[in-house]
Each structure stands twice: as C-alpha cells, then as structure tokens.
Structure 1
Amino acid sequence: MQLLAVRITDNCHLGFRMTKQPIHGKVYPACSPQNPNLTFFHAAPFEFVFAIGFSPPKSVLYLIVERSPMDKKIKKVDKTVKNSFGMPFLPDAERCGIRCSHSKEFRIDRACDPFGSVLILHFRSAALIRTEKGIERALPGDCMVHAPDFPQFHTAVPEATVGYVNDWIHATADSVLPFVQDTGLPLNHLIRTRNPDLLASEIASIRRECLLPDAHSPEFIRLELMLILRKLLRANDQELRLQTAFSASEKRYYPVFCRLRAFLFQHCSEDLSLAEISARVNLSKERFAALYRKFFASSPYSDLMDARIILAKSMLISDNASLKEIATCCGWRDEHYFSRCFRQRCGISPGAYRRAPSNEKP
C-alpha cells in the first residue's frame, strides 16, 4: 500500500472528488495511540482509507490517504479537498445521528471535541452527562450544546438495563457560536425541552442534504441548523419562565399540556372539542382553558385554527382539490366558514391565496 499525506489548512468536506465521483464514507472510531482524536473513513468501493484528525494546539486538519495498488487510475490527491458545491467539512452525513442506541457500557470521555466543533446532544432516554455544574442526570428531551473545548462525558445511568438513546450533530464553531453570543443560548448546560423528538426532523434534513448535495444544500443546512438553535433557545426561555411564573401545581401540569398541544396540532383536522381535550387531564373546560392560555399565551381554539390554516395553505399550494374538499380535509364542515376563517386570519381569500405568486403569499 502506498501512503500519501496531504496537509490541509482549510476545512473540507468528506465527499470530495478524485475519480469524478464524490466519495462518501462511513465513520469508524480509531484506535491510534499516536493520535486518539483520529477518525478513519472507509470509502468503498475504491478501497481507500481516509484518516482525518486535528493536531493540537492549532487544530490543523490532516488527511492521510492509503491507496490500493489495485487502482491504477487514482492520481495524487489535490491539496484543495472540497466537493464541487463548496460544502464545509462540518456538519456532514457522518457527523450527525438520529435515535442512536448505545450499549449499557458505552461512554464518551474526552477532553474536548475531536473535530474542534460544537456538539449538540439531545437525549431520548435518561443519561449521565458532564455540564458546567458537574455530572448531571439528563432526562428524556434534555439537550446540551457543547463548546468545542469543553470536556465531553456521557454514559448510561447506573440503574439502566440498556444504554441510552440520543440524537446528535457536530457543527462548525463559526456556524453556532455567533448565534450563542447574540442570543445568550447557554453552552455546557442542560436545556430542558421535554420533547424527545424536538430536533429529529432538522437533523434528518441535514443528513439528507449531505448525502445528496446540490448547489442549494449549504443554505438548506444553514437554515436547518438555525432552526435547531432557535428551538433550543425557545425551550430554554420557556423553562426559565416555567420556573419563575408558575406555581408548583402548575409546573406539574406543564409537560402534560405540552403533549396535549402537540396532539392538537397533529390532529387539527379532526373534530376536537374543548370538553374532550380537557377530559384528558381531568380538568374542567374553564380550568383547562385558563392554564392553556397561561402556559402558551394562546387559547386552544386559536391554536387549532392556526394549525388548520397552516394545513390549508399547504394544500392550496400543492393540491388541485376544490375549496370544499380542502375545508373538509382540514376540519371545517362548511367551505364558507372555512373561507371566512381564512380571510380573517390571512387577509385574503383561499382562492386568491392559491392564485397569488409565491413571494406575495401572506
């Protein structure tokens, strides 16, 4: 095997081109005593082995290519290792995961992030994690944004019979830290979201963009990452408000109401009544409505109408169904009442909304 070593001073993406086809590899943890931060990328079917790591203290990126003598077509690796779309090295498809299940013995324990990136961890089950406060117990739905130089430690809780499950993503520091500085999103602290599925769709979208990139992928990845950070900022703000604005009994109801609100949005097309929803938490309609408004600064009816309007807008744009059919699918029994509600909330009729250019739709 012939070894080629290339020193790269700029970030790169795994899917670079050497044989006119992007190579996407799978990550395997390295067992290198010389460089414990090294990660190997096996890129079948070309029988290459890529080793990418950061050499402290300057975090210079190195790429080592091990070339098989079976392939005579491969030329020397170019020093500029970027794919044709200029994708940044992080995040990429192998720097994120969804619903990752770990063994009970699995643990991460390292002095800093091996890629010099920001690690966002979102737990689907209980786990132990190092924060600024020390070793804390993370609950399902809890999230933490690791600074690149903060020690990483997470493992299963002692009483667990199986390992923990989590979602995660590595992102470049310059794509996250400016947002943190501008908004005050806490680093190295647990953020209680109370929703184990909070980030799954955004991480899945980022992974898809990295696996099948095109000229629009960098912007889509940036937007999805910003949505992740915005969700965490909102969850953190809501948790702070929960701790200061609500009584002990109200705090106990809050996670239940969050689940009910999610249910309401997901089932907005169904014939839901306030009596039916309030019965799920054994509260009177009046008490339920009062708590709902206190928690979310909105009424159940207003949220239900908003969810139906969003669904109707989607159908008006992407479906050729009649207004009567759309009204029925979105939960309205009468198309005239649907049109009146739509106009009240959007300032335009459903038909006019359907005909309007995309840049003029409210």
Structure 2
Amino acid sequence: MLRPQPPFRTESLVLETVSRLYALTEENKDSRNIPEWIQSICNQIRIEAANPVSLTNILKHCGYSRSKFYADFLHFIGVPPCIYIRNERIRFAARMLLQKREAGIKEIADLCGWKTPYHFSRAFKKVLGTSPRDYRLTAPFRETSIS
C-alpha cells in the first residue's frame, strides 16, 4: 500500500509526468515545417491510438520506401515511428486511466488495445517511469489534464 505523500511530492510527480509526455512528441523536432504527409500520419496514429497500428499499412498509403519513411519520420519527429506509436498509445492509456477511474488496469489495457495487462504495464512504466496503478493513485486531483 502506498503511503500518503506530501502535497509538494504529488505535484512534483504530476509535473514530471506531464513534462515527460510533452517531451515524447516535442523533443528533437526539426525546426523546419513538418511535411504534410508526416503530419497526416501522426494525426492518424493519434486517432487510432487504441488500435495497434501497422507500419506496413502506413507504408502502403504514404507511397514512400521503408527507408525513406523511417529516415524522414526520425528527422522531423525526433523518434522512430514505432516509438512514436508506442508513446501515443501510452498517452491515450494515461488519459483513460484518469477518465475511467472505476475501470481496472486489465479493462484499460483491453480498451487501449494492449494484448495483456502485463505488456501494457511494462510499456507504461518504461515510458512514464511509474506503473499504471501508481500513476492513477498519485494523480487523484486531476481529471484529464493530459492532452
């Protein structure tokens, strides 16, 4: 069982989490404009965050070779496509954890398209540094501050 944390500790954890989420998509972006086709792919990934995204399908629709796609995506977004997809899925899951507080971790994992709660929890902790359960418990005053 978690011990009650001082208010400044909870606030610090919240700020750190929000900061990490922001950094996942903003860090290392090229200062030039992101090509429209990459923006479109990123938007589609965000919209489909609850569903596993197939890079093969993305490649078919964008019309670029695998190497060109990966190189351009990494250059403009700052992370490889598979990492971007994982991060967007975790961002979606973090919102669901706060919006659906009555739902269990397994239910959230299912809702967010993860194969198992274990796989979901490991990926969540790898990205945010805390388990889904602890994330939810350390943010009791937040409604849906993660966008």
Q: TM-score range by the shorter chain?
A: 0.5 to 0.7
Q: How many residues align?
A: 115
Residue 137 of structure 1 corresponds to which residue in structure 2? none
Residue 334 of structure 1 corresponds to which residue in structure 2? 116
1:348 aligns with 2:139: no
State the structure with bigger RCO (CA 8 A, min sep 6), 1 or 2.
2
Residue 78 of structure 2 corresponds to which residue in structure 1? 297
Residue 241 of structure 1 corresponds to which residue in structure 2? 32
Mapped to 2, the partners of 1:308 and 1:350 lie a distance apart of: 13
1:323 aligns with 2:114: no
Larger radius of gyration: 1
**1:106-125 deviation per Cα after TM superposition (whole angstroms, max 9, x unaligned):** xxxxxxxxxxxxxxxxxxxx
Mapped to 1, the partners of 2:87 and 2:118 lie a distance apart of: 17
Give the Å deviation of 1:358: 4.3
Amino acid at match of 2:115: R
Where do residues 261-300 of structure 1 align in structure 2 (5 Å cutoff)?
261-300=42-81
Give the Å deviation of 1:355: 1.4
Q: Any idea what SS the aligned residue of 1:241 has?
A: coil
Give the Å deviation of 1:350: 0.7
CA contact (8 A) 1:339 1:350 kept: yes
Where do residues 123-202 of structure 1 align in structure 2 (5 Å cutoff)?
none
Residue 226 of structure 1 corresponds to which residue in structure 2? none
Question: How large is the Cα RMSD of the aligned pairs?
Answer: 2.6
CA contact (8 A) 1:269 1:329 kept: yes
Q: TM-score, normalised by structure 1?
A: 0.29
Q: For structure 1, which runs of at least 5 residues remain unmatched after alignment?
A: 1-233, 243-250
Change (3 A) 1:285 1:317: same
Q: For structure 2, which runs of at least 5 residues remain unmatched after alignment?
A: 1-25, 143-147
Mapped to 2, the partners of 1:359 and 1:285 lie a distance apart of: 44
Give the Å deviation of 1:277: 0.7
Mapped to 1, the partners of 2:127 and 2:87 lie a distance apart of: 8
Amino acid at match of 1:353: Y
Residue 311 of structure 1 corresponds to which residue in structure 2? 92
Amino acid at match of 2:36: P
Residue 20 of structure 2 corresponds to which residue in structure 1? none
Q: TM-score, normalised by structure 2?
A: 0.68
Q: Which has the higher helix share?
A: 2
